Amino acid sequence: MCIDYAEKLSRIVYKDSEKNNCDCLLFSGGIDTSFILMSLNEKPKTVSVLFKNSKDEEYISYATKKLNIENHKITINSEEEVDDCLKIALNVLRTIDPIEIISGISVCMGLKEAKKLGCNCILTGDGGDELYFGYDFLLNKSESYLSSWLKNVAKNAFFNSIPISQYLSIKTILPLFSDESKELSFSIPTRCKINEINGKIFGKYFMRLWLYKKGLEYIALREKTPITSGTGSEILLNHWKEKVKIDEIQEYKKKYKINFPSLSHLYLFKKGLEMNLFNNELENKSKYNSCPICGHELKRNFCKFCGAYINDSVSVYRDF
């Protein structure tokens, strides 16, 4: 039965947490962090980062009330409150990809709060979407595509919580992306990862069944939410967009040979220049296999600097 795989994964999560003496969890109220929470005997302190109009908030409130857990909610109301973590994300990640930077800011804010709380070790839900097919675009893919995807992400997936936690000197563990979890993921049939519940196809099917059985029905049937709308941090994209002008695009394109796909990209680029961050990135553009947007080297069709994915077409964040 599919739920047996969830029991195995739960034991993996529990052992990883116990071994590392983890006492805190970055909690979004999503499938991955809820699965981790329900796998632990001693409920950790949970830390949640929320901006205005966050979709995560209702799920976080549901879980904290139902489970009577200690939740430390950081509600961010202004751009000034994230300035330090914006600088940290730019410095650590060296990218102008707005989605990666927004994710990094949320992670940074949560980790800093956990450090204030005196957490010995922080758990994150990174890796669940990658290993257990949580992304919506995977739901209609062929077995061969999914097999190739799994091999690639198990070997190459990047999670910004790792370098950011190292920068902040905070011990962070990703139990859903441990070696044991990776090994388990290869043994689970696709029908247990992608399947139908109440007439709708979901990823992470076996994890959802397990959460439903544990009494978190509302979260178990939650749809996949991008981090921008989940945390509500998409409000930052609007702030960044307003801080630069469309006619600056051509000026900076001509000077730096970058086809900025969004005003947010340009804002982050200018911010990085102010911080003297991108000297190497600008000097070491690739002559081979280069990104058509910014000229940096593509690795597995992905450009780390601007966030573009190049396949049959160019997929990148745009705001104009």
Work out the mean pLDDT of the chain and round it to a whole number.
95
pLDDT for residue 46: 98
pLDDT band at 22 (very low <50, low <70, confident <90, very high): very high
Tell me: pLDDT of 284 over 80. Answer: no
25, 123 contact by CB (below 8 A): yes
pLDDT band at 180 (very low <50, low <70, confident <90, very high): very high
Residue 111 in tokens: 């980790």
pLDDT for residue 188: 98
Which residues lie below 8 Å from residue 67, measured CB to CB, with a gap of 6+? 37, 43
Residue ranges of domains in the chain: 2-231, 256-315
Residue 146 in tokens: 């999914």
Residues 52-90 have pLDDT tens digits of 889 999 999 999 999 999 899 999 888 888 999 999 999
Over residues 294-315, mean pLDDT: 93
pLDDT for residue 80: 85
What topology does CATH give the domain 2-231? Rossmann fold (3.40.50)
Over residues 292-307, mean pLDDT: 94
298, 291 contact by CB (below 8 A): yes
